[in-house]
């Protein structure tokens, strides 16, 4: 029974009781009629009170229903009654504040959502059970996974080298790491409070481009200084030595023959040193790629023909792509040839003798794999492969892979070099 019904029942019972009492108490008709008039007046007052007291309650019920339906546009007009207008004023003020707050929250939510979706940093938001609730486009690109492979999946059950690093750090930690010596990532893990309980979120930023730029700036400056000093010194020294060698009367005496030979060796070593420094200088002066539509299949065949004689000396065979169909990419032809030459040279050095180099083109994935059956790459070497001037060879300069890295990054091609199993190493380029 609601309040209105209770009030009406109470008033009816009260006045019926009063009528019965007046009938038995007042035998005089005058007093009886006066009592009846008073009861009628009381009924009228009760009816007025009913409207004045239950009217605000009715408004409150309407306002409550509007709030329950999250409709903050319902407002009431003043009635001219003081108490009712006070209640209406408070309600209208509350509705205005709720509407303003909801609009503010919606705008902030939309801004935050847009910020997450357009952020250059990969973002993963977890629910209370460590399931991935939200992943922005950048994280899908970094992980090379689709939304279906991530959303609603438990982060502890996903197999991915980047995700596995996330599991290693605690909330509030930040860590940088490299995968296959090619890409460098920075992971930050933190949490926020949602309904009284912590929820984690992860931000992943790829630092490859920034680190490459810093590395190139650093080693570029060093190389330019070294090349300048070496070339100046070698030019002057060779000029003096050549002048001495051209004075024939010095070398008439047979006793000076050994000195002449030593000077000739010194000149040759100076030329070798000059060539050594020129290789480093070429790395710094690498031009921007002149991208054109080229047939990668034809370039592979051309480079293999170029390297065939050297490979034959070591009994190394080339296994060409399964198809002769054109495989078109947008790239600088000369620079891509240089990349393939460096890859083949490294593969041949890893094989040493009696082996094969297999070229696999995958049009669907848009990738090239160069697979050799050499000695492979150890875990210690894997993390340093693309570091500037790092080499596992005794006389290596570490230029080949550094140059490959520079060319492929300038083209915007992803790449990796790793041993997938014993005696099997893959250099993969994804176009």
Chain centre to alpha carbon of residue 309: 45
Asked if 407 contacts 421 with a C-beta cutoff of 8 angstroms, the reply is: no
In this predicted structure, the answer to whether residue 4 has a pLDDT above a threshold of 90 is: no
d(CA 230, CA 273): 8
Angle, helices 333-351 vs 296-313, to 10°: value is 30
The residue with greater pLDDT, 403 or 179, is 403
Hey, what long-range contacts does 205-212 have (CB within 8 A, 24 or more apart)? 205/120, 205/121, 205/122, 206/122, 206/142, 207/176, 208/182, 208/183, 208/184, 208/409, 209/409, 211/184, 212/405, 212/406, 212/409
Three-state DSSP class for residue 414: strand
- The predicted structure's pLDDT at residue 25: 67
Per-residue pLDDT for 394 more than 60?
no
Q: What is the DSSP string of 129-189?
A: TSBEEEE-HHHHHHHT--HHHHTT-BTTS---HHHHHHTTS-TT-EEEEEETTTEEEEEEE
pLDDT in tens, 74-122: 777 777 777 777 877 888 888 888 888 888 888 888 888 888 888 888 8
Instruction: Tell me the mean pLDDT in the region 23-27.
Output: 63
Angle, in degrees to the nearest 10, between helices 400-411 and 333-351: 140
**Residue 386: what pLDDT?**
63
State yes or no: pLDDT of 346 exceeds 80: yes
CA angle 206, 210, 213 (to 5 degrees): 145
Which range has highest mean pLDDT (21-25, 165-169, 238-242)? 165-169
Q: What is the pLDDT of residue 275?
A: 72
Locate the DSSP E strands across 25-151: 122-126, 132-135
Q: What is the mean pLDDT of residues 137-163?
A: 85
Using a cut of 0.85, tell me whether the model's pTM lies above it: no
* Sheet bearing 367-372, strands edge to edge: 316-319, 355-362, 367-372, 424-430, 414-421
Instruction: Pick the more confident residue, 414 or 183.
Output: 414
Query: How far is Cα 416 from Cα 210, in angstroms, rounded to an integer?
Result: 18
For the segment 196-204, the average pLDDT, to the nearest whole number, is 89
- Is the pLDDT score of 212 beyond 70? no
Of 323, 345, 356, the closest CA to residue 399 belongs to 345
Q: Mean pLDDT, to the nearest integer, of 373-399?
A: 65
pLDDT tens, 294-310? 999 999 988 888 888 88
Mean local confidence (pLDDT), 262-275: 76
Are the C-beta atoms of residues 344 and 370 closer than 8 Å to each other?
yes
Three-state DSSP class for residue 361 = strand
pLDDT digits (tens, 9 = 90+) for 28-53: 666 666 666 776 777 777 777 666 66
- In this predicted structure, what is the pLDDT of residue 364? 87
pLDDT of residue 360: 92
201-204 long-range Cβ contacts below 8 angstroms, 24+ apart: 201/123, 201/124, 201/125, 201/126, 202/123, 202/124, 202/126, 202/166, 203/121, 203/122, 203/123, 204/121, 204/122, 204/123, 204/124, 204/139, 204/142, 204/162, 204/166
Q: What is the mean pLDDT of the chain?
A: 79
Give DSSP secondary structure letters for 203-259.
EEEE-HHHHHHHHHHHHHHHHHHHHHHHHHHHHHHHHHHHHHHH-GGGGSSGGGHHH
Phi and psi based region of residue 204 (left: phi greater than 0; alpha: psi -120 to 50; beta: remaining): beta
Bigger pLDDT: 143 vs 56: 143
Three-class DSSP category at 328: strand
Confidence of residue 253 (pLDDT cuts 50, 70, 90): confident
Q: How confident is the model at residue 357 (pLDDT cuts 50, 70, 90)?
A: very high
Q: How many helices (H) and strands (E) does the chain have?
A: 12, 12
Alpha helices in 359-399 (DSSP H): 379-382
């Amino acid at each position: 029974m609601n309040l209105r019904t209770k009030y009406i029942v109470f008033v009816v019972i009260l006045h019926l009781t009063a009528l019965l009492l007046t009938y038995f108490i007042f035998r005089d008709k005058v007093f009886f009629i006066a009592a009846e008039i008073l009861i009628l007046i009381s009924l009228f007052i009760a009816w007025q009170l009913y409207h004045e007291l239950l009217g605000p309650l009715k408004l409150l019920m309407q306002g409550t229903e509007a709030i329950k339906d999250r409709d903050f546009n319902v407002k009431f007009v003043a009635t001219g009654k003081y108490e009712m207008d006070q209640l209406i004023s408070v309600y209208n003020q509350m509705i205005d504040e709720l509407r303003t707050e909801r609009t503010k929250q919606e705008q902030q939510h939309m801004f935050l959502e847009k910020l997450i979706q357009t952020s250059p940093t990969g973002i993963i938001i977890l629910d209370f059970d460590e399931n991935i609730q939200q992943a922005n486009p950048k994280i899908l690109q970094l992980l090379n996974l689709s939304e279906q492979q991530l959303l609603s999946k438990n982060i502890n059950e996903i197999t991915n080298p980047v995700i596995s690093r996330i599991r290693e750090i605690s909330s509030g930690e930040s860590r940088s790491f490299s995968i296959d010596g090619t890409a460098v990532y920075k992971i930050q893990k933190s949490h926020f409070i949602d309904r009284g309980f912590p929820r984690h979120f992860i931000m992943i930023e790829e630092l490859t481009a920034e680190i490459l730029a810093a590395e190139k700036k650093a080693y570029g400056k060093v190389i330019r200084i070294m090349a300048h000093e070496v070339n100046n010194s070698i030019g002057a020294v060779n000029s003096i030595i050549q002048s001495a060698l051209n004075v024939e009367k010095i070398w008439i005496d047979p006793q000076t023959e050994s000195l002449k030979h030593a000077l000739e060796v010194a000149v040759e070593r100076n030329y070798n040193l000059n060539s050594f420094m020129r290789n480093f200088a070429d790395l710094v002066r690498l031009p921007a790629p002149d991208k054109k539509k080229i047939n990668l299949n034809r370039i592979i065949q051309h480079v293999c023909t170029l390297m065939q004689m050297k490979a034959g000396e070591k009994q190394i065979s080339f296994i060409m792509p399964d198809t002769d169909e054109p495989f078109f990419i947008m790239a600088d032809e000369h620079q891509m040839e240089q990349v393939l030459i460096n890859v083949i040279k490294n593969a041949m050095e890893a094989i040493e003798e009696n082996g094969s180099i297999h070229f696999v083109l995958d049009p669907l994935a848009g990738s090239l794999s160069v697979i050799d059956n050499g000695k492979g790459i150890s875990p210690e070497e894997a993390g340093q492969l693309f570091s500037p001037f790092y080499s596992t060879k005794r006389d290596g300069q570490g230029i080949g892979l550094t140059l490959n890295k520079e060319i492929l990054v300038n083209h915007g091609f992803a790449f990796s070099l790793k041993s997938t199993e014993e005696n099997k190493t893959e250099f993969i380029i994804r176009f």
